[in-house]
Structure 1
Amino acid sequence: MPDLGVTPLFYAAAIPAVVLLGFSKGGFSGVGLLSLPLLALVMPPIRAAGIILPILLLQDALTVYAYRHSWDARNLKLLLPGSVVGVLLGYLFAAQVSDAMLSLFVGLLAGIFAARRLLSPNPSGGSPSGQNRPFGLLCGALSGFASMVANAGSPPFQIYVLPQRLNPQILAGTSAMVFAATNLMKVAPFAALGQFDPSNLVNSATLMPVAVLSNLAGIYLVRRISAERFYRAIYLILIAVSLKLICDGLLT
């Protein structure tokens, strides 16, 4: 794939990708999964991920500040230890793991989960489920691993957290804390892969204003949507994302 550098085609892909990241970080967890595949249409995926990571870190800072009083500590205690293991395994085995197989697995799992919830009598999930330590650790590890190798950590996180039917702001804040920590864990591996070179950092910097505005827009909107609409929208987004991941896995 040719290196397009900073061209109109680059921005045609990069601006929508960053807007999706902003909405995802603002509380619409899941839509950000589409950002890396979109940017990877015009450049090698590893470089796309290197450009996205500094933007994610900025958006994480804004979102963590916005939701600093709205998050669930018990979920963090279960998910983050697994995420550490997942990021480490993702770095160690990135060369051996097929992105296509990972996309297919995560997409199928997320799609089945979301479809089951949407087809239930109460799409927002019925009675809230409790927290399960082994399953939480497993979902945290899958989320960290998928985030490291494919920037696709949201579905495993959602599979564990959404059935709990947390308040939408608590859900958004918990997601913000988990993925802020996960993205910080990814800095050293991406630096080791040489993805923080001056060219990538300049490209990241040019997209920062779009990142901030879209992040604030996501935070504004998620606080003005009812819980029922919020959960229905999340499951619909999750199905769309899972279909994209399945297609990537089958066609790559």
Structure 2
Amino acid sequence: MITDPLFYALAAPAILLTGISKGGLSGLGALTVPVLAMVLPPGQAVGLMLPILCLMDLFGLWAYRRSWSRDQLGVLLLGALVGIGFGILAFDHLDDNAVRIAIGANALVFTLLNWLKPFVTKGKPDDPAAPSNPKGFFWSGVSGFASYIAHAGGPPLLMYLLPQRIDKMLLAGTTVVYFAIVNFIKLGPYIWFGQIDGANFTQALVLAPLAPIGIWIGYWLTKRIDSKTFYQLSHILLLVAGLKLVYDGLKGFGLV
């Protein structure tokens, strides 16, 4: 059992933010592992979080049981399975910092291009992007890979879903169902490869009461903010997550 007060001072708000992300405001979840990695080895931080994420997913599935896109999930889950497979194969061979920088840089470019678009189009609103099986498969594959490596699958998935500008509750519910399935799939290989052990699981149980609180806050906020604000906030959260991932990757390489 971890007794360091600094661990709990960082873990408690990080898990609450993850719950808020699971409750509908996607993007914050990518911050959790980098925060925990400040006081734990990255592999231990990833293993500790997965049981908590799965618990959050159960609450999220109940909250959004009527708000998710069946049409989108088929191709998204297929891509995620491929991405998880690559994550399993690459886990012992890839540099975590390079993965963080690549994912974070993509999130930053996506967000900045979205904000610059009104200047390019002279303020004319563009049409929502149409769902695309090839794009959905690609970005969900990246999401599944990033989710397995560092629980950072949110930014790639949002890069595919946000341009479609679907109803906020439908978007939130689709991401909740998607990551619930992805996280429960990840449980098997995490246990098999020793990323989740008795110590990690016991520590996760201590922090578990924070899970439903974060979910409730996220769901409450999602229902009460208007769609325009929701999408603006989602892009801001994606930007923050991207900056954090790039910073932690560069720090890992000793460049900052």
Fold shared, TM-score > 0.5 on shorter chain: yes
Between the aligned partners of 1:225 and 1:118, the Cα distance in structure 2 is 20
Structure 2 counterpart of 1:236: 236
- Report if the CA contact (8 A) 1:18-1:35 is conserved: yes
Between the aligned partners of 1:236 and 1:184, the Cα distance in structure 2 is 28
Is the alpha carbon distance of 1:96 and 1:57 closer, same or farther for their aligned partners in structure 2, counting shifts above 3 Å? same
RMSD: 1.6
Between the aligned partners of 1:105 and 1:202, the Cα distance in structure 2 is 33
Structure 2 counterpart of 1:210: 210
Segments of 4+ moved more than 3 angstroms: none
Between the aligned partners of 2:201 and 2:97, the Cα distance in structure 1 is 28
Structure 1 counterpart of 2:177: 177
Between the aligned partners of 2:128 and 2:60, the Cα distance in structure 1 is 25
Structure 2 counterpart of 1:133: 133
Query: What is the deviation of 1:119?
Result: 2.8
Matched, 1:15 2:44: no
Of the three residues 35, 45, 48, the one matched with 1:48 is 45
> What does the per-residue CA deviation read over 1:141-174, in whole Å, with 9 as the maximum and x for residues that have no partner?
1000000011110111001111110111000000
Structure 1 counterpart of 2:250: 250
Between the aligned partners of 2:105 and 2:198, the Cα distance in structure 1 is 38
- One-letter amino acid of the counterpart of residue 45, structure 1: P
> What does the per-residue CA deviation read over 1:191-238, in whole Å, with 9 as the maximum and x for residues that have no partner?
012233222111111111111111111111110000000111111111
Answer with 63-72 or 92-101: which moved more: 92-101
Between the aligned partners of 1:94 and 1:23, the Cα distance in structure 2 is 28
Between the aligned partners of 1:161 and 1:144, the Cα distance in structure 2 is 15
Paired residues in the alignment total 248
Aligned ranges for residues 71-90 of structure 1 at < 5 Å? 71-90=68-87
Query: What is the deviation of 1:131?
Result: 1.1
Structure 2: runs of 5+ lacking an equivalent: none
Between the aligned partners of 1:72 and 1:197, the Cα distance in structure 2 is 35
Aligned ranges for residues 84-233 of structure 1 at < 5 Å? 84-121=81-118, 126-233=126-233
Structure-2-length-normalised TM-score: 0.93
- Report if the CA contact (8 A) 2:85-2:145 is conserved: yes
Answer with 125-134 or 152-161: which moved more: 125-134
Query: What is the deviation of 1:85?
Result: 0.9
Between the aligned partners of 2:203 and 2:92, the Cα distance in structure 1 is 26
Structure-1-length-normalised TM-score: 0.94
Question: How much identity, in percent, do the aligned residues show?
Answer: 40
> What does the per-residue CA deviation read over 1:92-132, in whole Å, with 9 as the maximum and x for residues that have no partner?
11111111111111111111111121233399x74211011
